[in-house]
A and B are shown apart, each in its own frame.
Chain A
C-alpha cells in the first residue's frame, strides 16, 4: 500500500515571498503520478500541479513548481510570489495509475500574511 506524509501541519509566509511545502511518499511502483491539490476554506479542492514519475523534468505551473526526487521519494511544492489567495490547505497525493484512487497526505495549512 502507498503512504503519503506531509510533515508540516502548518506554515505561514509573507505576501510576495516564496514558500516550500514538503511531501514524502512510499511505494514499490516505478510509474505513478503525484499531485498537489489546494483546498481553500469552504471551497472545493482544485488541482495545482501534477507530475508523472517517468518524467525527469520538474513540473511548473505559473508561480507553482515542484522538486521531484524519485530516488528519495520526495515531492515538494514551491510557491513563488505568494498571494493572499494562496491561503488554503494543501494536499500532496499519489496515484498508482491513471484512473486509480488518490492517496492523500494529511495536509499542510498555509497562511499567507499581508
Chain B
C-alpha cells in the first residue's frame, strides 16, 4: 500500500542551526500539506501546495521557515535559524487533488531544538 514518506524521522539540533525535512507524497497526489504538531496538541497547517504552487502559507513563519516543491512531487521544509519553540512533530500529508477531501499522513519528523 502506498504511503507518504518522510525523513528524517528524528532530528536533534541546537538553536540557531538550520534544519531541513523531506516529504515524498503518494505517487500521483497533486496536493501536499505540511502541518506542525506541538506535543499534546492537534496539528496546525504550515503550508499547502497544489503541484508546485503554494496555495496557502498564511501560517508559515516566513522569517525563518521556507518550503518548496520544485517539480510538484517531493517537498522540503526548512527552518533557519531554529528556535527552542520549534520543537514539535512536523507532519506531511497528501491528497489526490484539491477536489478530494481525504488526506494521507506520513509518519512525521520529530524535531528537538536544544
Q: Please list the residues of chain A having a beta carbon within 8 angstroms of any beta carbon in chain B.
A: 4, 33, 37, 43-47, 50, 91, 93, 95, 98-102, 104-107
Contacts and interface: CB of A to CB of B under 8 A. Distances in A.
19 contacts: A33-B101, A43-B107, A44-B3, A44-B106, A44-B107, A44-B108, A45-B43, A47-B102, A50-B101, A91-B43, A98-B101, A99-B50, A99-B97, A101-B33, A101-B48, A104-B43, A104-B44, A107-B41, A107-B42
B113 to A, nearest CB: 20
Given A101-B56, A107-B41, A95 B101 contact: yes
Interface string B3-18: 1100000000000000
Contacts of A98: 98-101
Contacts, number: 55
B99 A106 contact: no
- Give the 10 A-B CB pairs with smallest separation, nearest first: A99-B98, A104-B42, A101-B45, A45-B105, A98-B101, A44-B107, A44-B105, A33-B101, A98-B99, A91-B42
B91 A45 contact: yes
Contacts of B108: 44
B31 interface: yes
Given A99-B95, A101-B56, A4 B42 contact: yes
A50 B101 CA distance: 9
B32 to A, nearest CB: 11
User: Which of B44, B98, B105 is the most central at the interface, judged by chain A CB atoms within 10 Å of its CB?
Assistant: B105
